[in-house]
Structure 1
Amino acid sequence: MRNKWILMAMLVCLRAGAIDLHGLPQDSLSLWVAPVESDRVDIAYRADQPASPASTMKLLTGWAALDRLGPDFTWHTRLMSTAPVVDGVLEGDLYWVGEGDPRFFGARLRELLDGLRQRGIRKIAGRLVLDASAYSRLSSADGFEQDEGESFMAPPDPLLTNLNVVWLRFFNDEQGVRVVLDPPLAGITLESHLTDGGGATCGDVRRWVLIKATGNTIFAAGKVPRDCDGSMAYLQPLEPEQFAAAAFAGVWQSLSGSGPLGVASGKVPEGARALASVTSDPLSRVLVDVNKFSNNPMVRSLFLTMGRQAPESGDTVADAERAVRQALVAHGLDGHGLKLENGAGLSRDERVTASLLGQVLRVAARGPYADELLASLPIAGQTGTLKHRFLDLGPALRLKTGTLKDVAAVAGYWQRRDGRRLVIVAFVNHPQAASLKPALDAVVRDAIRRYESDGI
């Protein structure tokens, strides 16, 4: 048996040594390639060296969430109170209790408040109290201060609403040029200085319109071509709790509701009853947004949810990391080299080996939730972050991409015509990683070509 493993190790080294780096610096690449249907490893090049995986870390977090929570797991958002309702008036505080629904968009907020109106409540005579106690603390994403205001930088929050962004929808039709906010935000003034931009081709509406937030005012100015009718752009005008409160009040007012009398933070008291509630989309649906569009706030919510669901220490972040490592141990995987910060790869500190991530993907492909994970991955040349890459390989190739300032990465599966599958994990950690993506793609193509012809 010992001789068998020595022989296998020698073959791995020989195969790794034979790979063409396509100009990649030797110490920049980590590569692990192996068939799903076999226990062998076909290529392992610096595969046990901890490296920054960028957003391919989302695969590890997503797999662990499926394993720990199941694909049908849902989040619940409730409006609760101990106060009586008299003649349509809630005579006290209303508590908004969130669990971190990653897809709590404007439509879900409207559904929640419509439930309040259906109960016959038209006025909130007390305060809106935000209960964000589902997380004891948030995981960090340090080192990205220059990206403040970007949607991918929205921090997770039990009451995260619309990913903390307001969408500006532009119109240019027979009623004139205008812009509206979705969701409406109470206390925010929308100041429009828009004119007709004529018959020009729209493209990105931000080519034509300047958008900025100053204090409690959102400014939109410029010329809007008729081709931009219905176009949208986003903005992050407020901190998460401020945004949630403003969105609540704005939607409530649009439903002809009045109140609340101010906003506070606190925990729902014992004995409170639910006046309205909504249930999220299942975890499997959340994973589609996480992986196809590399959504950081959503996967950070998944990470923290694992900690909330298994509160061994009461520290949500520490419990989340423990849950991920327990998933690895349960499947016989060694977490050597793994360093977690937020589970999203939006980190200067997170590390994983190509070998570990590859083994996770192989376990996932053999497991009960293989279809859910595979369906969440971008399809080469068709969807998500892979829409404009590997156009020649098409739907047989499904990869999660990862990009940071010094990182380019891919991880996922390629399927042969006979149905057999190949796991591919490749990280490039180098100051010129962005310019090295073509070489990375060439390495991936080589691995596929060899497997397709049974050459490895």
Structure 2
Amino acid sequence: MLTRRFFLAALGSAALPVGQGMAAGLTQSLRPVARGTTAEVAPVAKQAPTVAKLIAETRFSGDLAFAVCDAKTGEILEQQEVAGHLPPASVAKSVTALYALHHLGPAYRFRTRVLATAPVVGGVLEGDLVLAGGGDPTLDTDGLAALAQEVKASGLREVKGQFLVWGDAVLPHTQIDTEQSPEAGYNPAICGLNLNYNRVHFEWRKAGAKYDITMDARSEKYRPDVHMATMKIVSRDVPVFTYANSEASDDWTVAQGALGNSGARWLPVRKPALYAGEVFAGFMRANGIAVKAPAITRTEPTGAVLGQHRSEALSDVLRGMLKYSTNLTAEIMGLAASERRLGAKVSMRVSAAEMSFWAADQLGLEGALFVDHSGLGGDSRVPAAGLAKALSGLTREGLLPDLLKNIPIKKMDGAPDKTHPVKVVAKTGTLNFVSGLAGYATTSKGRQLSFAIFSGDLDRRDALGPDERDRPPGGRTWNTRAKQLQQALILRWDTLYDA
């Protein structure tokens, strides 16, 4: 039997103090009370299309797993599983949200601090100034600007020592998933000092025979140029982007043949602490405080706090994560929760394995295997029936439904039907030839159902070459059909289980 200790050991962490330091963010277990039967319940005799007919009508191809439960009792009304289960994609973030709430609590806030390692005398700091990240995944350029103004208000005028940046509040990772294209903005580096979801804004505009290009850390109020991320236009057609890791910068090239006259996109940052440090140093200078170029420190800093930025409460951060499906936020949440649970910083893989064990223990989600906290990695697996049943238990805890976003039923032309009596709140998930949807549906007569739907054509996904991952042939059409099938299943359940 695959035990918890064996699984962690296989990931290279047998010596970790697993299971220690758990902080209860909830007053009771999240495990749903088992009621009813887990066997498939025969549908009542109502006019509803069979699942086979829905698959034929939507022209869906691939594997399909689903389950629907009575959200109040946990009774499974209908289910279909796939051997070995399917990837959850970003549906995994719903489990990550619960994992973070349990260990950190809904009021938890991340802090980014500015520290002085020596006394400030007459406005002069003889020691070092340190920008110390606390893992905040939502810190943006506006927040750094406000932090610089707070440091100025503290009376600091001059820094004699170094300007250091510390990003080891969580174990750094250069990216979330190694299978993604290098330019995928949703696959950035992770560390304890993050900025703008660790993305840099690349913009270009043709000027005669040449191009004007900018790399900046734009936000709602500011657009500071960034020099730690460089871009060179190269005369070629493919690949569109290449990335090279130098000691102090992220070095990009872009194919001139792919640019056109103008455009813009976000690119991932691989050195987020230096990125945040450069932007903050610019704001310090704008406030009349000269600082040196940022340098990385691996030693956790101590000293007087000259300013700090606090994130929104965890519950609000999670709501944004589930709405916009931000991968960086999910990974930081999972890593922070595992550190609180274990009393030690661990890698993303080890943390995801720990979340798998927690989900089995606290949610009853046995058989789930997570390789990350965002669902970006395609090797995660989740049983549909297990998740649907776990979601039913969470209605009694009153946790997840309020954090999920509305998923409108669509008309034949694809427009949202705002007057449709069936209401759905759920988490979506999309990878190449993988689609998921899990959450709650309120039927026409008011019955609340919990459900999980996973679909995938893993053979087509595995056959993709590196240059096909951004826009796989047939991928958009497949995804559209998978989403149509999800809605068709929900409307089927409205017909069958509305009583």
Q: Structures share a fold, TM > 0.5?
A: yes
In the aligned structure 2, how far is the partner of 1:439 from the partner of 1:238? 35
Q: CA deviation at 1:372?
A: 3.5
Q: CA deviation at 1:132?
A: 2.2
Of the candidates 154, 159, 173, which is equivalent to residue 188 of structure 2? 154
Q: Any idea what the Cα deviations from partners look like across 1:167-189, whole Å, max 9, x if unmatched?
A: 46899xxxxx9979425246469
Of the candidates 221, 224, 233, which is equivalent to residue 184 of structure 1? 224
| Residue number in structure 2 paired with 1:174 | none
Q: CA deviation at 1:285?
A: 2.0
Cα–Cα, structure 1 residues 75 and 389, in superposed 2: closer, same or farther, change >3 Å? farther
In the aligned structure 2, how far is the partner of 1:211 from the partner of 1:361? 41
Correspondence 1:356 to 2:425 = no
In the aligned structure 1, how far is the partner of 2:83 from the partner of 2:185? 33
Structure 1 unpaired stretches of 5+: 172-176, 194-209, 225-230, 383-387
In the aligned structure 2, how far is the partner of 1:305 from the partner of 1:148? 26
Correspondence 1:44 to 2:76 = no
Correspondence 1:276 to 2:307 = yes
Moved more, 359-368 or 401-410: 359-368
| Residue number in structure 2 paired with 1:241 | 273
Q: CA deviation at 1:346?
A: 0.6
Q: CA deviation at 1:407?
A: 0.9
Q: Any idea what the Cα deviations from partners look like across 1:365-403, whole Å, max 9, x if unmatched?
A: 2213245323xx253279xxxxx9672366822332212
Partner AA of 2:72 in structure 1: E
Q: CA deviation at 1:48?
A: 7.0
Correspondence 1:285 to 2:325 = no
Partner AA of 1:350 in structure 2: S
Correspondence 1:425 to 2:452 = yes
In the aligned structure 2, how far is the partner of 1:10 from the partner of 1:82? 64
In the aligned structure 2, how far is the partner of 1:340 from the partner of 1:168? 33
Q: Contact conserved, 1:307 with 1:321, CA < 8 A, in 2? A: no
CA-based RMSD: 4.0
Cα–Cα, structure 1 residues 48 and 166, in superposed 2: closer, same or farther, change >3 Å? same
In the aligned structure 1, how far is the partner of 2:155 from the partner of 2:326? 37
Instruction: Report the 3-state secondary structure (helix = DSSP H, G, I; strand = E; otherwise coil) of the residue aligned with 2:115.
Output: strand
Q: Contact conserved, 1:32 with 1:426, CA < 8 A, in 2? A: yes
Partner AA of 2:195 in structure 1: T
In the aligned structure 1, how far is the partner of 2:312 from the partner of 2:345? 26
Q: Contact conserved, 1:310 with 1:319, CA < 8 A, in 2? A: no
In the aligned structure 2, how far is the partner of 1:254 from the partner of 1:161? 19
| Residue number in structure 2 paired with 1:196 | none
Partner AA of 2:39 in structure 1: A
In the aligned structure 2, how far is the partner of 1:189 from the partner of 1:49? 42
Map 1:118-129 to 2 at 5 A. 118-129=153-164
Q: CA deviation at 1:363?
A: 2.4
How many residues were matched structurally?
A: 414
| Residue number in structure 2 paired with 1:392 | 417
In the aligned structure 2, how far is the partner of 1:339 from the partner of 1:54? 12
In the aligned structure 1, how far is the partner of 2:414 from the partner of 2:105? 31
| Residue number in structure 2 paired with 1:408 | 435
Q: Contact conserved, 2:228 with 2:274, CA < 8 A, in 1? A: no
Q: CA deviation at 1:75?
A: 0.6
Q: CA deviation at 1:212?
A: 11
Of the candidates 15, 28, 43, which is equivalent to residue 63 of structure 2? 28
Q: Any idea what the Cα deviations from partners look like across 1:384-437, whole Å, max 9, x if unmatched?
A: xxxx96723668223322121231222222223444322221111202665333
In the aligned structure 2, how far is the partner of 1:414 from the partner of 1:428? 19
Structure 2 unpaired stretches of 5+: 1-34, 206-211, 234-239, 461-473
| Residue number in structure 2 paired with 1:436 | 478
Map 1:60-79 to 2 at 5 A. 60-79=95-114
Instruction: Report the 3-state secondary structure (helix = DSSP H, G, I; strand = E; otherwise coil) of the residue aligned with 1:274.
Output: strand
| Residue number in structure 2 paired with 1:301 | 332
| Residue number in structure 2 paired with 1:207 | none
Instruction: Report the 3-state secondary structure (helix = DSSP H, G, I; strand = E; otherwise coil) of the residue aligned with 2:274.
Output: helix
Q: CA deviation at 1:262?
A: 4.7
Cα–Cα, structure 1 residues 238 and 27, in superposed 2: closer, same or farther, change >3 Å? closer
Map 1:62-141 to 2 at 5 A. 62-136=97-171, 138=173, 141=176
| Residue number in structure 1 paired with 2:17 | none
In the aligned structure 2, how far is the partner of 1:313 from the partner of 1:239? 23
Q: Contact conserved, 1:22 with 1:442, CA < 8 A, in 2? A: no
Q: Any idea what the Cα deviations from partners look like across 1:196-240, whole Å, max 9, x if unmatched?
A: xxxxxxxxxxxxxx999997899999867xxxxxx9753446622
Map 1:186-335 to 2 at 5 A. 187=227, 233-236=265-268, 239-260=271-292, 262-270=294-302, 272-315=303-346, 317=348, 318-319=350-351, 321-323=353-355, 325-326=357-358, 328-331=360-363, 333-335=364-366
Q: Any idea what the Cα deviations from partners look like across 1:334-383, whole Å, max 9, x if unmatched?
A: 422x2222211110221111122222322222213245323xx253279x
Cα–Cα, structure 1 residues 265 and 423, in superposed 2: closer, same or farther, change >3 Å? same
Provide the identity percentage: 23
Partner AA of 2:295 in structure 1: V
| Residue number in structure 1 paired with 2:200 | 166
Cα–Cα, structure 1 residues 51 and 236, in superposed 2: closer, same or farther, change >3 Å? closer
In the aligned structure 1, how far is the partner of 2:417 from the partner of 2:49? 27
Partner AA of 1:300 in structure 2: E
Cα–Cα, structure 1 residues 389 and 247, in superposed 2: closer, same or farther, change >3 Å? farther
Of the candidates 446, 449, 453, which is equivalent to residue 491 of structure 2? 449
Q: Contact conserved, 1:54 with 1:347, CA < 8 A, in 2? A: yes
Q: Contact conserved, 1:126 with 1:261, CA < 8 A, in 2? A: no
Q: CA deviation at 1:127?
A: 1.4
Cα–Cα, structure 1 residues 180 and 30, in superposed 2: closer, same or farther, change >3 Å? closer
Of the candidates 373, 381, 394, which is equivalent to residue 343 of structure 1? 373
Instruction: Report the 3-state secondary structure (helix = DSSP H, G, I; strand = E; otherwise coil) of the residue aligned with 2:51.
Output: coil
Moved more, 358-367 or 301-310: 358-367
Moved more, 422-431 or 213-222: 213-222
In the aligned structure 1, how far is the partner of 2:183 from the partner of 2:148? 28
Q: CA deviation at 1:306?
A: 0.5
Instruction: Report the 3-state secondary structure (helix = DSSP H, G, I; strand = E; otherwise coil) of the residue aligned with 1:242.
Output: helix
In the aligned structure 2, how far is the partner of 1:62 from the partner of 1:452? 28
Moved more, 281-290 or 53-62: 281-290
Partner AA of 2:187 in structure 1: M
When normalised by structure 1's length, the TM-score is: 0.77
Cα–Cα, structure 1 residues 13 and 304, in superposed 2: closer, same or farther, change >3 Å? farther
